Amino acid sequence: MVTLGSLGKDRAQTHSSFHRWKQRMERSKNSNGPLIYFACPAQALGAPRYHLHVLIWEWLRRSFAARHASAVGFDHMDLRQIASARDNLYAAVQGVGYFLGQQRSVFGSTPHDRHEP
């Protein structure tokens, strides 16, 4: 899972930067084919910027992700691996639910309460 953000970017600018980041990542990643992802824009209550939560279905090299994020104008990039469902089903579902719940509650989750509607 990846979080991308930058001060001063509105929703359209964030989307444009994400599109360029995704294209760069597709050229740099190890596997062939498109990057499989689910992305959700969010804006924290009262915050001047948007950020993206991106759930990606393959391994990414942190250094590539950070370099490409910086190159397209993101000043924040966080990359974390979600627990394997085989190892810890609860943690895996919780991690995915966090991303899916950025705009609406998922199974009673509340991350959406921190974001503008």
Taking the C-alpha atoms of residue 43 and residue 59, their distance in angstroms, rounded to an integer, is 26
Strand-pairing partners, residue 56, are 37
Give pLDDT tens digits for 62-94. Answer: 899 999 999 999 988 988 877 777 887 777 777
Q: Which of 57-61, 71-75, 90-94, 96-100 holds the top average pLDDT?
A: 71-75
Q: Express as a percent the part of the chain with pLDDT over 90.
A: 20
What sections of 1-117 are H helices per DSSP?
Answer: 11-28, 62-71, 89-100
Torsion sign, CA atoms 7, 11, 13, 17? positive
